[in-house]
Amino acid sequence: MTEEVLPDFSGKVVVLYMSNDTDPQQSGSTMVDGEFELQGGKLFLHGTIPEGVTDSDWAAGVEMAVAWEHVVEYLVFESMDEYFERVQRVHREKLH
């Protein structure tokens, strides 16, 4: 059996879409500096919610963990600047 190779998200911004998302285009969880860890025998991606990704920043700076087995898709950005630039691009396109 080969050892599973996990992605390295250190220093990155990651948007995760889970199998239980009702509307994957509108939902998704964003974290920075994600690292894998075992919790209760399950693999989780653990990181921090960055500023500017939740309504009124109510969760900015809070640690979060997502069960890796429930992730069906993820997007990786090199920086918060890149993330916000792309989010703004989508909002501009919706206005036209």
Residues 37-69: tens digit of each pLDDT: 999 999 999 999 999 998 889 999 999 999 999
**Is 26 a residue whose pLDDT tops 70?**
no
- At residue 54, the pLDDT reads 84
pLDDT at 25 over 60: no
> Integer distance in angstroms from the first to the last C-alpha of the chain?
52
| Neighbour order of strands in the sheet with 29-39 | 63-67, 42-48, 29-39, 9-18, 71-77
- pLDDT interval class at 1 (50, 70, 90): very low
Domains of the chain and any CATH numbers: 9-95 (2.30.30)
> Looking at residue 2, what is its pLDDT?
55
**Residue for token digits 């075992």?**
38
